């Protein structure tokens, strides 16, 4: 029991900037007025990309039945990609009444026998947490039997939001994996990438550049991740937290425990990508490395600018309204500006204070920060003469009514928008949106309408 | 009929395709006009369902959650969070109905939905839909039954021209519309319950409402008991038909195991002719029957040499299995999400309740798969042909417009499967 994470402590994260003026805990959802995923989903998002590990969900069918094979987290793991598989005990009424531990034990045995994973992550869920299955004990025994790490993940959905779930996943990795294995060798430039899940291969947009600079990604949590590597993560020289404040507890604790400093970065857009690569080099503190990095950034920006030149003509003078949430409110805005679009408004409805500050910084004095985008965006499109609305599906009709182009920012993306290379993908997609006559054609009046 | 395995034989499911009762319940409520489905559980149950259905239909999905937390799970019997949720929902929007349905979490703690319903001063229908029993199909079926029991007003009158259609969950929005139109051709006024054909049919609406956008109205549901005939489609809808008969014993009931293929459509036509007293169906029906006959003959050569794995809900398997086997397709394996009396009617060499790992273990037995999105990876890995059907279907657009039913849809479906089989045989392995 002592190994179980303390939720209150995790919610009170000292490294969070907004911690001091927070009115209530991050995780109190309102009945009838809540959107967003649960802690289990957050844990799943954070850990599933370990493709060499099996991810066994101890719960009823909804938890994994509705969620496996939903994220394009690519891996180069040469074995069977366990990320794209669903494993669940799929508990029944009988298990609810008599307990599901025996079934869980058998399920672990089955997985080890048939799929030979490097580790098994065992996720508790609301129902199995309520009936009190002791997944710690089952994992401990299974670890002794099978000789591979068995990681209990205590993030049943009802303890809170996705963010908290990611944090709990980080706790599980810190408690059960990090520091349990020594790396074969070390370099002065070893880093861990935390919170990078390599969705659509985002990570591979910039890791070759890091390699070229002589920076080694010792481990990741968890994009293209390997269990063996994360076990050695305690030997890194730097933790790099990628676009994910949800995992901030982990690098903070690793700093306390292993004296590894950490920085927080984002790889969306040209400016942020360049700044992030340089920040990594600077944090590693080698003058020669910093020089090399500056040269590489100049080279890459030059290549990118040449590739973007034809797009700039398309985007010149074009205005965009952005209606999305969280850090996307400024990170996408930044990428759009890098392409030469003017971002006239962005939504800060669900953004934190820090996100709002950043949005203001990127949009400038004249930029509009929408607090109620559903109501405001139509009017803003009229007033600013915007050409493009980037939002979720619900806003589609606003764009059609205003006869302007629409891009769904919430749609599951199929190609990477990350790093320098991803910006070309984004430019291509936005160009296609802007030039597509469909929005105008759809808005055509029916012959029977007056 | 071949061998039937009614229960999974393993301690876990690997690559599962079973979906759950709360999702089926939510979907049924989305077939009611201006309804707000309210899932009683953790917020993740709702979030997963919302994302799942949004991706399948490419439409915004209206649904809310009671957002049960670890604390309320212990301290609240459900009344607190449900009453609060209804208050918060109705502060912002005015639904015609709140569709309250439970999950594994709240069934484990044993919340008394019926008791809570009496405390809510708002139109509300409740249904127990735990996710550790049954599946998508039974969640949908149970909800339809609850809607009838809790909303329909009893009567003893009947209107001879009124028909109630009870479609199972695997019928697409356009299929529901096709069946409604087909029955209407025989001179009837038809009401489907639930009715996705006007809500999730993928139409461009003026307003992207926070509530379900179309479907059967609550008023219409209340008045369903004066129908002369109720037609249930799929074994999962039998209990709903029985519930309607309790509201008016004068209603005649015809049950269709499914509406796919020549024989099943013929039986429906016979029922409708008997009900309207005419000799012959309308000309378009006669024409489509001939087209289906022709499609059966055109496709039989390809289908006759094709061994098929069917994956899906039991009511779907019965229909798809029947239309394919009428043209000589060998259904070597049918993988069902859950047990159902319908499993006995599936024309397959082997029927099993299981997962895609079980299906993969039998890969030598089939050449082509008819199943959902999750079967795509299986088809690639094992070099099988593929026709995508069922929930979820995330990779292609237009799921709501696929029609496989009756004479018309049967003709399209046989051609599509035969063409997929030929493409597969032509592909280099």
- A393 pLDDT band, cuts 50/70/90, is confident
Alpha-carbon distances of A296 from A206, A207, A289, A301, B143, rounded to whole Å: 12, 13, 10, 8, 61
Q: Do B43 and A27 touch (CB under 8 A)?
A: no
* Distance (Å) from the alpha carbon of B373 to chain A's nearest alpha carbon: 9
For residue A355, give every residue at least 6 positions away whose Cβ sits within 8 Å of its Cβ, in sequence order, or none: A326, A327, A329, A330, A348
Beta strand A216-222 with A119-124: parallel, antiparallel or unpaired? Answer: unpaired
* Residue numbers in A near B374 (CB within 8 A): 68-69, 86
- The secondary structure of A404-444 as a DSSP string is -EEEESSS--SS--BHHHHHHHHHHHHHHHHH-THHHHHTP
The Cβ of residue B415 has, within 10 Å, a number of other Cβ atoms equal to 14
Mean pLDDT for A51-61 is: 96
Query: What's the CATH fold of domain B3-8+285-426?
Result: Rossmann fold (3.40.50)
Mean pLDDT for A192-210 is: 95
pLDDT of A14 > 80? The answer is no
DSSP summary character for residue A157: G
Mean pLDDT for B358-377 is: 97
* Residue numbers in A near B38 (CB within 8 A): 32
- Which site among B6, B9, B12 would you substitute to test the A interface, given the most A Cβ atoms closer than 10 Å to its Cβ? B12
* Distance (Å) from the alpha carbon of B366 to chain A's nearest alpha carbon: 22
* Residue numbers in A near B65 (CB within 8 A): 29, 31-32, 34
Chain B, nearest residue to A395 by Cα: B208
3-state secondary structure chain B: CCEEECCCCCCCEECCCCCCHHHHHHHHHCCECCEEEEEECCHHHHHHHHHHHHHHHCCCCCCEECCCCHHHHHHCCCHHHHHHHHHHHHHHCCCCEEEEEECHHHHHCCCCHHHHHHHCCCCEEEECCCCCCCCHHHHHHHHHHHHHHHHCCCCCCCEEEEEEEECCCCCCHHHHHHHHHHHHCCCCEEEECCCHHHCCCCCCCCCCCCCCCCCECHHHHHCHHHEEEEEEECHHHHHHHHHHHHHCCCCEEEEECCCCHHHHHHHHHHHHHHHHCCCCCCHHHHHHHHHHHHHHHHHHHHHCCCEEEEEECHHHHHHHHHHHHHCCCEEEEEEECCCCHHHHHCCCCEEEECCHHHHHHCHHHCCEEEECCCHHHHHHHHCCEEEECCCCCCCCCCHHHCCCCHHHHHHHHHHHHHHHHHHHHHCCC
Q: What pLDDT, on the 0 to 100 scale, is given for residue B93?
A: 94
What is the rounded CA–CA span in Å between residue A298 and residue A305?
10
Q: Do A65 and B19 touch (CB under 8 A)?
A: yes
Backbone angles phi, psi at B404, to 5 degrees: -115, 5
Higher pLDDT pick, A239 / A372: A239
- B208 pLDDT band, cuts 50/70/90, is low
Q: What pLDDT, on the 0 to 100 scale, is given for residue A2?
A: 44
* Distance (Å) from the alpha carbon of B217 to chain A's nearest alpha carbon: 22
DSSP summary character for residue A199: B
- A268 pLDDT band, cuts 50/70/90, is confident
- B78 pLDDT band, cuts 50/70/90, is confident
Mean pLDDT for A294-315 is: 96
Q: What is the dihedral of CA B75, B80, B85, B90, to 10 degrees?
A: -170
Q: Do A33 and B58 touch (CB under 8 A)?
A: no
Backbone angles phi, psi at B86, to 5 degrees: -60, -40
* Distance (Å) from the alpha carbon of B325 to chain A's nearest alpha carbon: 30
Backbone angles phi, psi at A113, to 5 degrees: -65, -40
Q: Do B13 and A88 touch (CB under 8 A)?
A: yes
Largest distance between two CA atoms of chain A: 76
- Which site among A10, A54, A66 would you substitute to test the B interface, given the most B Cβ atoms closer than 10 Å to its Cβ? A66
Mean pLDDT for A105-125 is: 98
- Residue of A28, A31, A39 lying closest to B81 (CB–CB): A31
pLDDT of A21 > 60? The answer is no
Chain B, nearest residue to A95 by Cα: B132
* Distance (Å) from the alpha carbon of A34 to chain B's nearest alpha carbon: 7
Q: What pLDDT, on the 0 to 100 scale, is given for residue B428?
A: 76
Query: What's the CATH fold of domain B159-281?
Result: Rossmann fold (3.40.50)
Mean pLDDT for A25-40 is: 81
Give the rounded distance of the alpha carbon of B377 from its chain centre: 24
For residues A160 and A7, the answer to whether their CB atoms sit within 8 Å is yes
Lowest average pLDDT, out of A22-31, A304-313, A379-388, goes to A22-31
Q: What pLDDT, on the 0 to 100 scale, is given for residue A170?
A: 96
What is the rounded CA–CA span in Å between residue A53 and residue B29?
38
- Residue of A86, A96, A393 lying closest to B132 (CB–CB): A96
* Residue numbers in B near A60 (CB within 8 A): 20, 104, 130-132
- Which site among A4, A55, A58, A62 would you substitute to test the B interface, given the most B Cβ atoms closer than 10 Å to its Cβ? A62
- A3 pLDDT band, cuts 50/70/90, is low
Query: What's the CATH fold of domain B21-134?
Result: Rossmann fold (3.40.50)
Topology match between the domains B3-8+285-426 and B21-134 = yes
For residues A64 and A84, the answer to whether their CB atoms sit within 8 Å is no
Mean pLDDT of all residues belonging to chain B: 95
* Residue numbers in A near B103 (CB within 8 A): 62
Alpha-carbon distances of B415 from A52, B53, B389, rounded to whole Å: 41, 28, 15
What is the rounded CA–CA span in Å between residue A51 and residue A371?
40
Q: Do B206 and A393 touch (CB under 8 A)?
A: no
The DSSP bridge partners found for residue B380 are: none
pLDDT of B406 > 70? The answer is yes
Task: Write the Ramachandran bin of B124: left for phi over 0, alpha for psi from -120 to 50, otherwise beta.
Answer: beta
Domain boundaries, chain B: 3-8+285-426, 21-134, 159-281
Q: Do A68 and B108 touch (CB under 8 A)?
A: no
How many angstroms separate the first and last alpha carbons of chain B?
A: 32
Alpha-carbon distances of A269 from A304, A318, A331, A383, B416, rounded to whole Å: 11, 18, 7, 27, 44
- Which site among A60, A83, A108, A401 would you substitute to test the B interface, given the most B Cβ atoms closer than 10 Å to its Cβ? A60
- B321 pLDDT band, cuts 50/70/90, is very high
Q: What is the dihedral of CA B381, B383, B389, B392, to 10 degrees?
A: 10
- A353 pLDDT band, cuts 50/70/90, is confident
Q: What pLDDT, on the 0 to 100 scale, is given for residue A66?
A: 85
Q: What pLDDT, on the 0 to 100 scale, is given for residue A400?
A: 86
3-state secondary structure A96-132: HHHCCHHHHHHHHHHHHHHHCCCEEEEEECHHHHHCC
* Residue numbers in A near B204 (CB within 8 A): 397, 400, 442
- Residue of B10, B47, B58 lying closest to A37 (CB–CB): B47
Beta strand A87-88 with B13-14: parallel, antiparallel or unpaired? Answer: antiparallel
Q: Do A107 and B12 touch (CB under 8 A)?
A: yes
Q: What pLDDT, on the 0 to 100 scale, is given for residue B227?
A: 98
For residues A148 and A118, the answer to whether their CB atoms sit within 8 Å is yes
Q: What pLDDT, on the 0 to 100 scale, is given for residue A395?
A: 83
Mean pLDDT for B175-204 is: 96
Q: What pLDDT, on the 0 to 100 scale, is given for residue A23?
A: 44
Give the rounded distance of the alpha carbon of A33 from its chain centre: 24
What is the rounded CA–CA span in Å between residue A157 and residue B39?
14
Q: What pLDDT, on the 0 to 100 scale, is given for residue A398?
A: 86
Chains A, B: CB contacts under 8 A, how many? 203
Mean pLDDT for B366-383 is: 96
Q: What pLDDT, on the 0 to 100 scale, is given for residue A25?
A: 46
Cite the DSSP H helix spans in A232-286.
249-258, 270-284
What is the rounded CA–CA span in Å between residue B316 and residue B307?
18
Asked casually if ipTM beats, i.e. exceeds, 0.90, the reply is yes
The Cβ of residue B219 has, within 10 Å, a number of other Cβ atoms equal to 10
pLDDT of A396 > 90? The answer is no
pLDDT of B429 > 70? The answer is no
Q: Which domains does chain A have, with CATH numbers?
A: 36-176 (3.40.50.1980), 190-300 (3.40.50.12380), 308-442 (3.40.50.1980)
Q: What pLDDT, on the 0 to 100 scale, is given for residue A1?
A: 39
Q: Do B20 and A127 touch (CB under 8 A)?
A: no
pLDDT of B314 > 90? The answer is yes
Q: What pLDDT, on the 0 to 100 scale, is given for residue B207?
A: 65
Q: Do A31 and B67 touch (CB under 8 A)?
A: yes
The Cβ of residue A66 has, within 10 Å, a number of other Cβ atoms equal to 26
């Amino acid at each position: 029991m002592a190994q179980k994470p303390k939720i209150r402590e995790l919610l009170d994260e000292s490294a969070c900037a907004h911690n001091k003026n927070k009115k209530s805990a991050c995780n109190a959802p309102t009945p009838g007025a809540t959107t967003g995923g649960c802690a289990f989903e957050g844990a799943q998002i954070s850990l599933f990309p370990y493709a060499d590990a099996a991810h066994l969900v101890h719960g009823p069918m909804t938890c994994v039945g509705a969620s496996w094979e939903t994220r394009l987290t690519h891996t180069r793991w040469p074995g069977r990609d366990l990320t794209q598989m669903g494993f669940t005990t799929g508990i029944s009424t009988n298990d609810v009444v008599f307990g599901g531990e025996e079934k869980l034990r058998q399920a672990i045995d089955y997985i080890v026998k048939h799929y030979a994973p490097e580790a098994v992550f065992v996720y508790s869920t609301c129902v199995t947490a309520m009936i009190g299955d002791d997944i710690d004990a089952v994992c401990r025994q299974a670890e002794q039997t099978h000789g591979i790490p068995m990681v209990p993940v205590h993030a049943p959905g009802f303890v809170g939001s996705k963010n908290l779930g990611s944090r709990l996943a980080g706790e599980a990795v810190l408690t059960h994996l990090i520091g349990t294995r020594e790396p074969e060798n070390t370099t002065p430039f070893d880093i861990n990438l935390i919170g990078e899940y390599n969705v659509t291969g985002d990570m591979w947009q910039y890791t070759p550049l890091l390699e070229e600079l002589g920076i080694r990604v010792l481990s990741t949590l968890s994009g293209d991740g390997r269990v063996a590597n994360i076990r050695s993560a305690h030997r890194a020289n730097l933790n790099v937290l990628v676009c994910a404040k949800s995992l901030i507890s982990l690098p903070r604790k690793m700093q306390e425990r292993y004296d590894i400093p950490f920085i927080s970065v984002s790889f969306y857009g040209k400016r942020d990508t360049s700044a992030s690569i340089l920040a990594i080099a600077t944090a590693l503190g080698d003058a020669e490395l910093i020089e090399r990095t500056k040269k590489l950034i100049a080279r890459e920006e030059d290549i990118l600018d040449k590739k973007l030149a034809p797009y700039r003509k398309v985007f010149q003078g074009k205005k965009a309204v952005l209606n999305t949430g969280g850090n996307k409110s400024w990170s996408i805005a930044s990428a759009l500006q890098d392409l030469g679009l003017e971002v006239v408004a962005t939504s800060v409805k669900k953004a934190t204070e820090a996100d709002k500050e950043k949005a203001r910084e990127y949009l400038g004095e004249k930029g509009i920060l929408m607090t109620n985008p559903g109501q405001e965006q139509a009017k803003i499109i009229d007033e600013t003469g915007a050409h493009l609305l980037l939002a979720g599906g619900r806003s589609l009709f606003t764009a059609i009514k205003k006869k302007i182009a629409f891009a769904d920012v919430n749609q599951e993306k199929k190609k990477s928008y990350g790093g320098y290379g991803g910006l070309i993908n984004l430019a291509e997609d936005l160009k296609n949106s802007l030039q597509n006559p469909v929005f105008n054609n759809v808005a055509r009046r029916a012959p029977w309408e007056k | 009929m071949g061998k039937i395995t009614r229960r999974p034989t393993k301690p876990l499911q690997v690559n599962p395709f079973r979906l759950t009762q709360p999702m089926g319940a939510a979907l049924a409520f989305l077939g009611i006009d201006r309804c707000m489905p309210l899932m009683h559980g953790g917020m993740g149950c709702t979030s997963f369902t919302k994302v799942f259905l949004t991706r399948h239909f490419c439409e915004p999905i209206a649904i809310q959650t009671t957002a049960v937390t670890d604390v309320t799970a212990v301290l609240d019997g459900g009344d607190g969070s449900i009453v609060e949720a209804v208050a918060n929902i109705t502060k912002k929007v005015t639904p015609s109905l709140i569709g309250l349905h439970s999950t594994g979490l709240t069934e484990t703690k044993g919340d008394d939905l019926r008791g809570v319903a009496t405390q809510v001063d708002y139109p509300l229908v409740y249904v127990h839909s735990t996710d550790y029993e049954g599946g998508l199909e039974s969640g949908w079926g149970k909800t339809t039954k609850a809607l009838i029991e809790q909303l329909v007003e009893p009567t003893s009158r009947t209107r001879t021209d009124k028909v109630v259609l009870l479609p199972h969950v695997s019928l697409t929005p356009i299929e529901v519309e096709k069946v409604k139109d087909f029955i209407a051709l025989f001179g009837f006024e038809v009401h489907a319950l639930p009715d996705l054909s006007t809500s999730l049919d993928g139409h461009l609406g003026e307003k992207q409402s926070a509530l379900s956008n179309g479907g059967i109205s609550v008023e219409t549901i209340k008045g369903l008991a004066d129908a002369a005939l109720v037609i249930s489609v799929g074994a999962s809808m039998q209990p709903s038909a029985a519930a309607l008969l309790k509201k008016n014993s004068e209603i005649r009931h015809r049950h269709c195991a499914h509406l796919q293929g020549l024989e099943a459509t013929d039986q429906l036509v016979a029922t409708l002719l008997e009900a309207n007293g005419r000799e012959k169906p309308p000309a378009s029906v006669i024409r489509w029957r001939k087209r289906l006959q022709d499609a059966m003959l055109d496709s039989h050569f390809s289908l006759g040499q094709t061994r098929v794995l069917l994956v899906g809900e039991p009511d779907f398997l019965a229909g798809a299995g029947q239309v394919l086997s009428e043209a000589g397709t060998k259904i070597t394996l049918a993988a069902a999400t859950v047990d159902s009396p319908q499993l006995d009617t599936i024309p397959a060499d082997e029927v099993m309740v299981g997962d895609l790992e079980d299906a993969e273990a039998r890969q030598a037995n089939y050449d082509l798969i008819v199943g959902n999105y999750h079967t795509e990876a299986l088809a690639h890995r094992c070099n099988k042909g593929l026709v995508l059907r069922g929930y979820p279907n995330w990779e292609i657009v237009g799921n709501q417009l696929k029609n496989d039913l009756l004479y018309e849809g049967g003709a399209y479906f046989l051609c599509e499967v035969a063409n997929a089989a030929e493409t597969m045989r032509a592909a280099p392995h």
